[in-house]
Chain A
Amino acid sequence: MSMETPDQIKFFRRIRTALGHAADVPRDAGQLFAEGPSAEDLQLLDRIDKRTTAERQTLLERLMEAGKPINLRVTPVPDMDAARTAVVAVVDEKKPEWGESKSVAAWRHPLIDRLGLEAPLARLQIPLRITDPIDPKASRECDQAERERQRAGIIASFIGVTAADFCMADTATLVMRNRPGQPRSVALVPSIHIAVITLDQILVDMKELFALLRWNERYRPEGLSNYMSFISGPSKTADIEATMVHGAHGPREVHLFVITGIGG
């Protein structure tokens, strides 16, 4: 073990002693971690791989059903134009929670770029703040200044627009892995979160998700990233006399638009 600290050495000695092993001999991982996909994993990967459009439609219906009890509003839209119209309609209709002026924060993401929100929002005179990746080579001061600028923009926005990596139908859960340009606060700090995904991003459940992240060549290198979020509907609490209230700290509303006509 490299980088062992004194607190760690003593701590591990105590654990090994308590377990009845030699205190100072690090033990082998043995069969604890998987060397490769299990038969079940392979089956899951195969199922995802061979999923037909009709099956995906059924999954979408499952997703819409699972969204109902948790107040996640799932709306299928046929194409990019319909998605744009739907997103802009929400922005236009909803009132800001903290103050009067409206502004929207959105991820720098291929799907959100293709959505083209800038022009329609400009017509409504609503500023759109795109969260561009920060140059990793920027000086400390520049990095700090840019991050603070983005943070202020997200805090000022009443709606945050994001994509997602996957959506699990059984629990109506959006899955987002951390990437530059796609800060998690866009889906957290604004009062309303709008997510846009394509039909092929819908999975059945966590089993499928983990099979992909662990064993699929396309997803395995990134894995879970340094921060992966599951989001299932709007923020909620029942801490006052067990009465359900939406919007405890996170968004009060979550709208999910699923584009059915195109692939990611």
Chain B
Amino acid sequence: MSDISTEKYVEEAKRGIADPVLRRSLSSLQDRFGRGTAEAYRKLPEGPDLRLKAHEIREKAIENLDVLLEALTIKIRQNGGHVFFAATAKDAVDYCLEVARRNQVRLVVKGKSMVTEEIGLNPALEAAGVEVVETDLGEYIIQLAGEKPSHIIAPAIHKTRNEIADLFVRKLGIRRTTDPPELTQAARKALRTKFLAADMGTSGVNMACAESGHITTVSNEGNIRMATTLPRVHVAFMGMERIVARLDEYEIILRLLCRGAAAQTMGTYASYIGGPRRPGDSDGPDEFHLVVIDNGRSRILADPQFREMLCCIRCAACLNVCPVYGKIGGHAYGFAYSGPVGAVVTPLLTGINRAKDLCCGETLCGACMDACSMNIDLPRMLLALREKLAYGDANWQVEPASRAEGIAYRGWSWLICNRRLYELGVKLAAAGQKLLPQKNGLIRRLPPPVQGWTQSRDLHPLARETFMERWRKRKQRVMSNE
């Protein structure tokens, strides 16, 4: 299994906020991509409303997942490819290990894929004695540094050129330079020897098309094209939801993917892979394997409240506008998926209680939905998760996050339904607040058990007169004047 550290959200978020370099890079990233993507949507011939159409396409695909996956499977098998259906992360990893063992694989070159992060493919291959090399430049930097990606599309956004220069001197033995083209060239050279020597290439799947029987991968660097062309074996991993029915629908999704991910009209490389090398071809892999992964997705599919999350294509547009992600960075989210998408999908995949801070940390400002290339209502699902945390949910095995909070709110609801008691309570509180420490007319600290509320904020004191008191007085005044 992959590492899950969602419990450290608060701790890691604090670390992120305290890191000025990270704050600067995130702010510049959001500034460029956030605006750029919005502009790219506006420039679409159909306008930003194309996202609504895409949402319909994705919903229809999800509702017919069995039919679409079956059509894709038949086509790929007809073309000589293998399709394996993995119920769990372990099934997917074990299948890949078996393919690697059968083909005596010693070196794997990896195209960037979030689902392989999700299932923990790298550590499993390494444990089996296979060398795994990440080939996306950002991922390669992260791997050399022994870290985790902090953004779905820009995984090394938290590293400065100086840090990368030191890293390359140490790991690649180059002469020190902080020039991005020279650093890129050093990685290009090192990775070229890996591409040429690798026995197996792995990739994710951006989107599959059932009608044509292809999976597609999109990249700007060309690393995925290398990893799926040069080695003898190609294993592609796809979340079971990443499919649409027809090419005309796929066309819409691809256009939105490129705009959502990097404000581009088209990524540099998009490859449509329908199977292995055919007789007469001089390149391409001898074997092509597609691993379709459930790993908790069927549970999301079964719940109408969260099914919409399966429309997501992981373009990461939501990260580029989220005020929370923009301050805390990706590591706080503690799993493969960060930002608003992570705040919804991680609790659903790894356990709602375990990842509760992720969905409670978001602000519900709605920027993610506006930026979402598939127009997914992320705020609605964040609220639905919070509701489960408040009241518990047997289906998702959620324990109420705080019993005391539940009791307090039940007490509050009883109090406000009772006029006399409520007014008495307000009077008592108004008298009591005079004893609390105040500054600039604000209450600095509340007494236990509610001291947490004022830990990081001051509180406005109750007004001297309640609204009802003023209302009654005013009414008396008006009546006596008449």
Interface residues of A (CB under 8 A from B): 1-3, 5, 7-8, 10-12, 14-19, 21, 26-30, 32-34, 38, 41, 66, 70, 98, 131, 133-136, 146-147, 150-151, 154-155, 170-173, 178, 180-181, 183-185, 188-189, 206-207, 210, 213-214, 223-243, 245, 247-251
Size of the chain B interface, CB-CB below 8 angstroms = 94
B69 & A184 in contact (Cβ 8 Å cutoff) = no
Q: Please list 24 pairs of residues, one from A and one from B, whose beta carbons are closer than 8 Å in the complex, sorted by A's number.
A: A8-B73, A15-B65, A17-B302, A18-B302, A19-B301, A19-B302, A27-B64, A32-B210, A33-B71, A33-B210, A155-B196, A178-B281, A188-B226, A206-B251, A214-B247, A228-B214, A236-B268, A237-B138, A237-B184, A239-B141, A240-B156, A243-B181, A248-B184, A250-B226
User: Which has the most chain B C-beta neighbours within 10 Å: A180, A214, A227?
Assistant: A227
Which residues of chain B are within 8 angstroms of A38 by Cβ–Cβ distance? 248
Given known A-B contacts A12-B70, A17-B302, A241 and B284 have beta carbons under 8 A apart: no
B87 & A34 in contact (Cβ 8 Å cutoff) = no
A248 & B271 in contact (Cβ 8 Å cutoff) = no
Which residues of chain B are within 8 angstroms of A28 by Cβ–Cβ distance? 67
* B 329-351 contacts with A by CB, 8 A: none
Chain B's closest residue to A210 (CB) is B247
Taking the closest CB of chain A, its distance from the CB of B31, in whole angstroms, is 10
Q: Tell me the bound Cα distance from A30 to B71 in angstroms.
A: 13
Given known A-B contacts A15-B66, A26-B70, A180-B281, A236 and B265 have beta carbons under 8 A apart: no
Q: Tell me the bound Cα distance from A233 to B273 in angstroms.
A: 20
Given known A-B contacts A7-B85, A226-B274, A136 and B280 have beta carbons under 8 A apart: yes
Which residues of chain B are within 8 angstroms of A33 by Cβ–Cβ distance? 71, 210-211, 245-246
A170 & B265 in contact (Cβ 8 Å cutoff) = yes
Chain B's closest residue to A17 (CB) is B302
Q: Tell me the bound Cα distance from A146 to B275 in angstroms.
A: 21
Which residues of chain B are within 8 angstroms of A17 by Cβ–Cβ distance? 298, 302
Q: Tell me the bound Cα distance from A185 to B269 in angstroms.
A: 13
Cβ-neighbour of B230 out of A30, A185, A210 (below 8 A): A185
Given known A-B contacts A19-B65, A134-B280, A7 and B275 have beta carbons under 8 A apart: no
The secondary structure that dominates the A interface is: loop
Cβ-neighbour of B283 out of A2, A32, A147, A225 (below 8 A): A147
15 extra interface residue pairs, beta carbon distance < 8 Å, beyond A12-B66, A173-B266: A11-B85, A30-B64, A136-B279, A146-B282, A171-B265, A180-B281, A185-B230, A207-B248, A210-B248, A224-B212, A224-B272, A229-B225, A240-B159, A242-B32, A250-B269
B188 & A1 in contact (Cβ 8 Å cutoff) = no
A240 & B184 in contact (Cβ 8 Å cutoff) = yes
- B191 contacts chain A at the CB level, 8 A cutoff: yes
Taking the closest CB of chain B, its distance from the CB of A219, in whole angstroms, is 12
- B357 contacts chain A at the CB level, 8 A cutoff: no
Chain B's closest residue to A149 (CB) is B282
User: Which has the most chain A C-beta neighbours within 10 Å: B157, B180, B211?
Assistant: B180
- B220 contacts chain A at the CB level, 8 A cutoff: yes
